[in-house]
Amino acid sequence: MKRANTGAMERKWITIALINLMIVALLGLLLRTNVLFPLPGINFGNWLFAHTHFAFGGWITLCLFTLLTYRLLPPGYSSKRIYPCLLAGVLISSVGMLISFPFQGYALFSIIFSTLFIVCTWVFEWIFVRDLLKAGVERSVTLLATGSMVSLALSAVGPFYLAYMMANHQKDTVLYHDAVYTYLHLQYNGFFTLGVFALFCHHLGPAAAEKVRYRFAVVLCAAVLPTMFLSYLWHQPPVGIRVAAGVGSALLLLVLARFAEMARSVKAELYGVNPLARRIGALALIAFALKTIAQLLTIFPAIGDAVCTNRPVIIMYLHLVMLGFVTLYIFAQLLYAGYFTTVKVLAGLGMIVFVIALVFNEVLLLMQGLPGVFKVPLEVYPWGLWLAAIGLVAGTGMVALAAVRYFVKRG
Are the C-beta atoms of 287 and 328 separated by less than 8 Å? yes
Taking residues 191-208, report their average pLDDT: 86
In a 13 Å sphere around the CA of 294, the CA atoms on its Cβ side amount to 19
Chain centre to alpha carbon of residue 283: 15
Domain with CATH 1.20.210.10 in the chain: 8-300
* Spatial CB neighbours of 265, under 8 Å, sequence gap ≥ 6: 208, 209, 212
Average per-residue pLDDT for the chain: 91
Are the C-beta atoms of 85 and 48 separated by less than 8 Å? no
How far apart are alpha carbons 182 and 177 in whole angstroms? 8
Phi, psi values for residue 386, rounded to 5°? -65, -45
* Spatial CB neighbours of 372, under 8 Å, sequence gap ≥ 6: none
Phi, psi values for residue 236, rounded to 5°? 55, 65
pLDDT of residue 409: 80
**pLDDT tens digit sequence for 362-373:** 999 999 988 878
> Could you tell me how many helices (H) and strands (E) the chain has, helices first?
18, 0
Helices marked H in 43-187 — which ranges? 44-54, 62-67, 75-78, 82-104, 108-135, 139-155, 157-167, 173-185
Are the C-beta atoms of 396 and 22 separated by less than 8 Å? yes
**pLDDT tens digit sequence for 340-388:** 887 889 999 999 999 999 999 999 999 998 887 888 888 899 999 999 9
How far apart are alpha carbons 213 and 197 in whole angstroms? 10
Which is more confident, 409 or 74?
Answer: 74
Q: How confident is the model at residue 207 (pLDDT cuts 50, 70, 90)?
A: low
What dihedral angle (degrees, nearest 10) is formed by the CA atoms of 362, 97, 19, 270? 50
pTM for the model stands at 0.94
**pLDDT tens digit sequence for 295-338:** 999 898 877 777 777 889 999 999 999 999 999 999 999 998 88
Burial (CB count <10 Å: 0-12, 13-18, 19+), residue 75: exposed
DSSP symbol at 326: I
pLDDT of residue 205: 63
Chain centre to alpha carbon of residue 233: 23
Helix (H) / strand (E) containing 262? helix 239-270
pLDDT of residue 326: 98
% pLDDT > 90, the chain: 70
Residue 103: C-alpha distances to residues 49, 50, 333, 366 (Å): 11, 10, 36, 32
How far apart are alpha carbons 144 and 284 in whole angstroms? 18
CATH 1.10.3720.10 fits domain 8-300: no
pLDDT of residue 4: 53
